[in-house]
Amino acid sequence: MAAAVWKEKEYSEEDFDGSDLSLTEMTRCRFSHCRFRGAVLSEVRLKDCHFEECDFSGAKMNAAECVTSAFSNCSFIGSNLFLARFESCRLLGSNFAEAEMGGIALVGGDWSWTSLRHQSLAKQDLSGIKFAGADFYGADLTEADLRDCDLVEASLDAAKLTDANLRGAILDKVDLKGLDLTGVKMDMAQIMLLALCYGVKIG
């Protein structure tokens, strides 16, 4: 049972640092430049909410459920997102450095220009998600399902891709040179793109 129900609330530059908002249900709420640093948002339920340049650093968002919500240029540095679920959400430009993302579920949505550096997303189903310009530097994508993802301009430098599935993913402007592609599943168009990166003449 929800601890509180928020509907169509709007906040700007509000300080929620350290607040206990666990189990709260929020629908069509808007937050601009608000702070949730160290806040407890465990099992919070968000639907059609919008957060613009909000700071969730160190927040506990374990088992949070976010549906058709947007987090534009938000900071999740050091936050706990264990078992959280983001369904059809927009995370444009958000930063997940040092966040705990074990068991997270990402279903569709737009994660363009997000920072996912050094994150462990091994064996995750990330299929169909838009990751244009996303930073996966040093991320563990071992056995990850990246089928049909939009990875245009994404950085995969130093990422672990062993046995990942890239079939159908858009890899335009991705630097494939130097990547360890051991066991990676690719379609014919991607194999030709990889060959061209190494100067192979086809036909």
Q: How far apart are CA 82 and CA 178, in angstroms?
A: 32
Q: How far apart are CA 28 and CA 155, in angstroms?
A: 33
Lookup: tokens for 54: 């909000």
Q: How wide is the angle at C-alpha 126 spanned by C-alphas 128 and 113, nearest 5°?
A: 80
* pLDDT of 199 above 70: no
* pLDDT of 151 above 80: yes
For 159-197, how does the pLDDT look when each residue is reduced to its tens digit (9 = 90+)? Answer: 999 999 999 999 999 988 878 899 999 999 888 888 777
* pLDDT of 38 above 60: yes
Specify whether the CB–CB gap between 172 and 192 falls below 8 A. Answer: no
pLDDT at res. 14: 97
Work out the mean pLDDT of the chain and round it to a whole number.
94
* pLDDT of 2 above 70: no
Which of 120, 123, 126, 122 lies closest to 148, judged by CA? 126
pTM, 2 dp: 0.92
pLDDT at res. 175: 87
Kindly provide the residue ranges of all beta strands, DSSP E only, lying in the chain, ordered along the sequence.
Answer: 5-7, 10-12, 25-27, 30-32, 45-47, 50-52, 65-67, 70-72, 85-87, 105-107
Q: How far apart are CA 64 and CA 181, in angstroms?
A: 34
Residues 6+ apart with CB under 8 A from 23: 1, 2, 3, 4, 42, 43, 44, 45
How is residue 190 annotated by DSSP? H
Lookup: tokens for 52: 């613009």
Domains, the chain, ordered by start: 1-110 (2.160.20.80), 112-128+137-203 (2.160.20.80)
- Phi, psi of 189, rounded to the nearest 5 degrees: -65, -40
